[in-house]
Amino acid sequence: QVTLVESGGGLVQPGGSLRLSCAASGNIYSYYVVAWYRQAPGEERDFVAHIGSGGTTSYADSVKGRFTISRGSANSWTLQMRGLRQEDTATYYCSLESRDIGTYGTIFWGRGTQVTVSS
């Protein structure tokens, strides 16, 4: 069982920065990737970035060069967002794909944190 909690969202002006955090709790012995997705009202949920258990990262073209995903302290991950644009406005979700014996392949999701980029 894994619980994910996102934090760090808020209102920011265009060109500003935010740092999102994803904190995981529960029995995490092995996992595949931690990823960030985002969803704007009326839109589909889109991939933003992920980091593998070995530290490899990947980014959507729309955020490459502006966003950075990394691992913080134990069982926590961050998404550093720079040069924010109005189109970055969305609810940002953290996910974790488990490789534990009891939950192998299960993808856990947080409730999301709202990011609003506006003047």
pLDDT tens readout for residues 41-74: 999 999 999 999 999 999 999 999 999 999 988 8
Lowest-pLDDT choice from 27-31, 35-39, 63-67: 27-31
Tell me the three state secondary structure of residue 18: strand
Q: Decide: 49 and 60 in contact? Cβ < 8 Å.
A: yes
Strand order through the sheet with 2-7? 2-7, 18-26, 76-81, 67-71
86-105 pLDDT per residue, tens: 999 999 999 999 998 888 89
Q: Dihedral through CA 61, CA 67, CA 73, CA 77, nearest 10?
A: -50
Q: With pLDDT > 90 as the criterion, what percentage of the chain qualifies?
A: 82
